[in-house]
Chains A and B, each alone.
Chain A
Amino acid sequence: MTDNLVAQDAQAGPIIGIAGVDVAALQPVEPGYRRAIAIRNAMLLVPLAAVASFVDVVILRANELPWGGLMVASILLAAIGIFTLPSRAWHKIGYAFGDDALRVAHGMWFRRDTIVPFVRVQHIDVGQGPAERMCGVAHLVLHTAGTHNSIVTLPGLLPERAAEMRDAIRALIRSDFA
């Protein structure tokens, strides 16, 4: 199964057709996105570790229960989530932007690999959350009419690149009907 970022059939030229997107080498997203994931994880895990540590040191100790383990575990979890996981998750995100379709793949153990033909796109979002803004990246969202997976998100793009991709898809939708 060729699901890594390793080029399977590295193409130099434009990626043509849906089959082209499928065999094209997946491109990595911006390295800055690693920091965006880290910030997002920190916003969740740091308060969690703080609460767990409080429970451990104050409540468990006061009741003469074995204490210390919960604090260590929660801090360890936060450290992994902030320092280790983001770069691994980043490494597993890849995309191929073709002439007719976008392919987005992500996930380490549970991997998901999506292809959306541009003719199926209903509308397009380019957005930036607070963490993303700090790291200078944006995300592109393609909305399709499908009930399953109607929203396909490609994170970790330079804002200019996201806008460029959006405009390309928009032009294509227009010519599709003209």
Chain B
Amino acid sequence: MAAERHLHPLSLLVALPRLGPQLFGLIPVIAAISISGRWGVLALMLAIFAVVSLVTTFLRWRRFVWMVDDDAITIRQGLWSRSERVLPIERIQDVAIEQKLVHRLLGLAIVSFESGAGGEGKRDDARLDAISLADARALREQLRHNAAGVVPTATGDAAAVEEPAPPGHILHHMGLRRLLVSGIFQFSLAVFGVVFGLLTQFDRFISFDLFDFDFWQEIATQFGLGEWVGAYRWLAFLGTSAVVLFIGAIAGIVRTILRDWNFTLSSEPRGLRRTRGLTTRTDVLIPRARVQAAIISSGPVRRFFGYYALYIQNLARDDDGDGKQERDHLVAPCVRLTEVDGILADIGLSRSDLRHGDWARPHRAMILRIPLVFVGIAVLQTIVMAIVAPQLLWVPGLLVASALFALATGWLDWRLRRWRFDGRTLESVTGWLRSRHVVLPARHVQSADLYISPLRRRFGLADLLLGVPGGKAERHRLSYIDAPQLRALRISLLQRG
């Protein structure tokens, strides 16, 4: 067993400036006391704050202990809440050494370890802030030895991107025609909203409001145009809508051309390589070993015309072209299902046809879940209204109407959901408006939850939630399935792993 070690004593110096921000919390108090002019109280308070901060900083440093032995790094820390973290060396993906300006002046370094654990918004799995630079380098060397074969992979991918591109065979290429088709489907309601908003702004600019009823009425009465203008009001509305729709479509096409110009997906020994973009050209490699799942998705209109988008869930994140980070990599924005099959085959996946195959369905009770919530609230509201304001008893009626609407959408949602497991791959289909067909090999399942709510228990049902690296949380979920069946599925999924 290795010796327990503390962080470098000089790291206390680095920690001190971090107390500054804590002082901001005191500003209102300081201001209040300053106004009352009791400077003695203020001085005393600042003194107490300084002493408490210094002592806790020191105690925190004292309690922070780290050690490295043959198979793991152990970090013990915490003043009020204590914790001891063990990172098995075999699991360490990356060791990073970082020096900020202060660290450089003092000869210190921050060492952070990445074990590839999931979780939202976390930076690294363990962090030594800070130890001496010499220690940091020695530690990294030691870990490289012990975790041989693991650490180099982390840098391997970056190297692969820099290599001169071997041609590889092309899996998918977007010609101009396909680009335009894709652009039309890109028509988004968000653009629609923005354009509409801009138009109303513009109207104010030209001193009348196209959408203002009074404006038109005024014209009608002033010029005595009567009924004719009344009809013209609708004509104007239709005309504006047509303009908005047209601009929306153009915006979608322009965006698509900028992002997906010369979109090429090719198959290389390491994985899939995607190049795209008109002004900003990007070149991304998705290593085969990192592919976790495939998602075939489509909107209501696009599905009708038989076009789908294919996403790959993997450990890295994608840039969607507008500077927004996407959790999955888009490898084909607008393809037919036969083209999807070709790409999937290249990464060792396959999908089942929705019309054939032994798809299983969720239980009908699923339709009730949202309507029941509405009805529950409506009942509560009725009771409250009856006591407090009987004249408002119609308000719960609105909720009942919402419940009926939710019943309809719930039925649509239920009707399209299905799943199947062939012993190797789990497939699930969800979404009545925007459909998603997820293909997930069992070997990527990290953990499995069964979830049972009162409604599910009533019908002997459960949900299965799977932990899979990368992608969005809660995606890999099978809802309202017979509980014993789901339990058996959980075991076979985890055993294939």
Contact = CB atoms under 8 A, between A and B. Distances in A.
Q: Do A and B bind each other?
A: yes
Interface of A: 1, 3, 17-19, 22, 101, 109-117, 119-130, 133, 143-152, 166, 170, 173-174, 176-177
B452 A111 contact: yes
Interface stretch (B9-17, B87-95, B197-205, B400-408): B87-95
Nearest to B85: A125
B466 to A, nearest CB: 7
Given A122-B116, A127-B84, A150-B118, 14 more contacts: A18-B491, A114-B449, A116-B447, A120-B446, A122-B87, A122-B91, A123-B85, A123-B125, A124-B85, A127-B82, A127-B83, A143-B117, A145-B469, A177-B90
16 contacts: A1-B457, A109-B453, A111-B452, A121-B91, A122-B125, A123-B125, A123-B126, A127-B82, A130-B80, A143-B115, A146-B447, A147-B120, A147-B471, A150-B118, A173-B90, A177-B90
Interface in B268-313: none
A116 B493 CA distance: 12
A126 B118 contact: no
A128 B83 contact: yes
B475 interface: yes
Contacts of B472: 147
B86 interface: yes
Contacts of B86: 123-126, 166, 170
Contact of A173 (B91, B126, B448, B487): B91
Contacts of B115: 122-123, 143
B396 to A, nearest CB: 23
B494 A115 contact: yes
B465 interface: yes
B248 interface: no
Interface of B: 71-72, 78, 80-88, 90-91, 115-120, 125-126, 445-454, 457, 460, 462, 465-476, 483, 487, 490-491, 494-495, 497
B172 to A, nearest CB: 27
Contacts of A3: 452
For the complex of A and B, the 7 pairs showing the least CB-CB separation, nearest first, are A146-B467, A150-B118, A127-B83, A146-B446, A122-B117, A144-B446, A143-B117
Contacts of A145: 116-118, 446, 467, 469
A58 B477 CA distance: 50
Contact of B491 (A19, A122, A143, A146): A19
Contact of B446 (A22, A150, A170): A150
Most buried by B among A22, A101, A143: A143
A59 to B, nearest CB: 19
B93 to A, nearest CB: 9
Contacts of B452: 1, 3, 110-113
A151 B473 CA distance: 12
Contacts of A116: 446-447
A136 B85 CA distance: 19
Given A112-B449, A127-B78, A174-B88, A147 B83 contact: no
A148 B474 contact: yes
Contact of B118 (A1, A112, A147, A170): A147
Contacts of B460: 1
B82 A133 contact: yes
A144 B467 contact: yes
A110 B451 contact: yes
A112 B451 CA distance: 5
